[in-house]
A and B are shown apart, each in its own frame.
Chain A
Amino acid sequence: MPTQQSILTPPVYDQITTGIISVESLLRDLAPFVTAALILLFIISKLAARHHVRLRSALDLAAKPYRYDPSDLRRGRESHASVIVQNQEAMFMNQSFVDGKKLDWLIRLAAKKGIAISKFQTSFMNLEDSHGHDNSALVIAVQGNTEGAPKSPPDCTQPLLVTVDQAANTATGERIKLNGVEAVVEAIDHNNSSMNRIGVLMSQDALACITGIGDLPPYGAVFSPRYSDRVRDLMLQVDLSGQAVIVDANQLTQMNDSFWAKNAAAIFLIAKILTALGLGLGAIGLKQSQLHQYHSEISSMMADGNNANAIAAVESFRALSESLRGAVLGTVPAVLLPVFFNMAVIGLDVETGLRNITLATMFMAIANGMAGYLGSLKVLKDMTPAEAMR
């Protein structure tokens, strides 16, 4: 018999564990991808920040016009107005619960004391530009008549003058249609579109010409902030203080933002749960189908004398490694998709963020790892090592 001499005599000095070499090798493999993804992420975040459009409500516009004056609007966002809006957390773009009669009473009382208050209304409309392209619009109409007194019917024979947000890509002087009624773009404003609705400013007379309704319910009112205390007293007199509040432009924006945040939170939560369920179930389903493909590999490990726990640990490790590799590849679309989404939805600012990517990666890795572990145990129950030979 040959002696037990081998050129491959096991060395005594090498005590590096296989675990260390596996992790080291995995990290080494992943390092270029992770670095590339992080660099890409950095560049994209910088670009996104540069082109960032703050999510703001079209209602914010209401804070601008103390009196409807397109020349003022052209100068940019004003912050000199105080706004009376409903004292509710739930604010809708085109609906208000402020009592119109009480508001008229307030306006009349204020006028007697030399304080000008302008009502404004909001309305959703269809905007058709001169090229025939349709857009949804949020029209904000500010009353020219500050006294709130009955006025004569509007002259609808003259061209209706409107200020349109730049998101509509219209030009000054362009003829557009609002709900089919022709209007002329008198000025272009900026950053006044929200939730894919183009902000359009006009007079109440113009609004009446389009809707055919002379006196739409008011959404709120604006006045000079130097009269805030006096108007607050007047609101008490007309019994408006319970249902309406005085806010400045920033507060109005915050109220509107918090409304969307609160209302969207439930939607986003449901979306996150559904996404998590979808991803989790998808991971498990995918893993199950992979495990069927891995039958021969698993049976080979069985044939090698590995017990179920060791094989499950291998499958779990393999799933974890696949998840990490997948996460690196998935990072690019995960970052890019919201950017495209933001470009498509005017006024929306959604970003994936490193935190979300990390959470998603961890979730997928855990779901996949568990699916690998539990799934392989299930597969092993019905398997014999002899299957490796087949």
Chain B
Amino acid sequence: MEHTTKGLLASDVRVVCSGRDLSKSFGSTNVLDNFNIDIEEGKFTLINGESGSGKTTLLMLLSGLDVPTSGTIVSAGEVVTGMGKDDLAIWRRRVGFVMQKPNLLPNFSALENLCLVHGLAGNSIEVRRAREILGSLNIKDQSKPVATLSGGEQQRVAIARAAVKNPDVIFADEPTASLDSATKSLVSAALARVVDELNISVVVVSHDELVKRDAHRIVTLASGMITDDVHKESGTEPSGRVIVLDEPQVVKRLV
């Protein structure tokens, strides 16, 4: 396996999401300019960087929530750029989202939050699967209104909601930002568990040091450019340089 440029992966690596020559401007401000990135399938990819570095903009483009000024995005097996509103809505069913706030339906239980929306949308979710995912993310009170759960539990329910539809990739934007240290650790581990046990790719935007511990790959942005792209070996800390792995390592994490 070889690397050509920061952000890109070798041709033999299975990619779940790619951006090519991406540019995004807001008025006269260019946030991203000819940006290229590949996201490896079945891995936990962390995108970090200072505020204003363009990491959230990149996540929104890759997840189809925003449209690039120019460039191409291929995500979950389809060319996202140029899709119409309806096609995008259908495509989004193949990706999951975890936001900074859990954005759950507070009066409904964890189980209902997983099943109700998808059920009403006509995409029936098996209750047993929903229960198992919630269980694996340590949500014990699955029948109580989620408003009664702690912040960390609610965020893990949000992760379960994203994972239950078995998406190709989950995009998470600062999922630990409003949590305390102990809870951050649990939420980050829950995301890692989704990767390891469900084999769902996860792309997280965060400045959180705790999330770095769980990520397989850390992409660092500054002023819309990739300044660092670190692939971690099991048990090693990021070295600040590109590490080429011959065999992917699965790091088991405990919640």
Contacts and interface: CB of A to CB of B under 8 A. Distances in A.
Whether A and B are associated in the same complex: the answer reads yes
Interface of A: 1-8, 10-11, 14-19, 21-22, 25, 28-29, 296-297, 299-307, 310-311, 313-314, 317-318, 321-322, 325, 384-386, 388-389
A303 B65 contact: yes
B97 A304 contact: yes
Interface in B196-211: 197-199
12 contacts: A6-B198, A8-B129, A16-B127, A21-B127, A22-B119, A296-B99, A297-B103, A302-B89, A306-B121, A314-B120, A318-B108, A389-B59
Nearest to B127: A16
B99 A2 contact: no
B127 A310 contact: no
Contacts of A314: 105, 116-117, 120
Interface of B: 14, 41-42, 56, 59-60, 63, 65-66, 86, 89-97, 99-101, 103-105, 107-109, 111-112, 115-122, 124-129, 132-133, 136, 143, 145, 161-162, 165-166, 173, 197-199, 248, 250
A318 B107 contact: yes
A389 B60 contact: yes
Nearest to A4: B199
Nearest to A301: B117
Contacts of B65: 303, 384-386, 388-389
A interface majority secondary structure: helix
B103 A388 contact: yes
Nearest to B145: A29
A163 B27 CA distance: 89
B126 A306 contact: no
A6 B124 contact: no
A303 B127 contact: no
B126 A303 contact: no
Contacts of A29: 145
B97 A317 contact: no
Given A7-B136, A18-B124, A305-B93, A1 B198 contact: no
Contact of A386 (B60, B90, B161, B162): B60
A85 to B, nearest CB: 59
B41 A1 contact: yes
A180 to B, nearest CB: 61
A384 B67 CA distance: 12
Contact of A317 (B100, B120, B143): B120
A3 B248 CA distance: 12
A389 B124 contact: no
**Which 5 pairs show the lowest CB-CB distances between chains A and B?**
A305-B92, A18-B115, A18-B119, A310-B121, A305-B93
A389 B101 CA distance: 9
Contact of B103 (A10, A300, A310, A322): A300
A310 B92 CA distance: 14
A22 B112 contact: yes
A1 B127 contact: no
Contacts of B133: 8
Nearest to A388: B99
A21 B60 contact: no
B103 A8 contact: no
B250 A317 contact: no
A22 B89 contact: no
B136 A8 contact: yes
A19 to B, nearest CB: 6
A68 B136 CA distance: 88
A317 B116 contact: yes
A17 B93 contact: no
A113 B162 CA distance: 98
Contacts of A386: 60, 65-66
A2 B133 CA distance: 19
Given A7-B132, A310-B121, A389-B65, 10 more contacts: A3-B199, A7-B197, A8-B132, A17-B127, A300-B97, A300-B99, A304-B97, A388-B65, A388-B103, A389-B60
B124 A296 contact: no
B101 A296 contact: yes
A25 B136 contact: no
B117 A14 contact: no
A313 B92 contact: no
Nearest to B109: A25
Contacts of A19: 119
A388 B92 CA distance: 14
A6 B56 CA distance: 30
B120 to A, nearest CB: 4
A29 B91 CA distance: 36
Contacts of B104: 297
Nearest to B100: A389
Nearest to B66: A386
B91 A305 contact: yes
A388 B142 CA distance: 24
Given A18-B116, A386-B60, A318 B105 contact: yes
A296 B103 CA distance: 6
Nearest to B166: A10
Contacts of B122: 310
B52 to A, nearest CB: 15
Nearest to B67: A386
B105 A18 contact: no
Contacts of B107: 318, 321-322, 325
A314 to B, nearest CB: 5
A389 B173 contact: yes
A21 B14 CA distance: 38
B128 A14 contact: yes
A18 B118 contact: yes
Given A21-B127, A300-B103, A306 B97 contact: no
Contacts of A4: 199
Given A8-B133, A10-B126, A10-B129, A1 B248 contact: yes
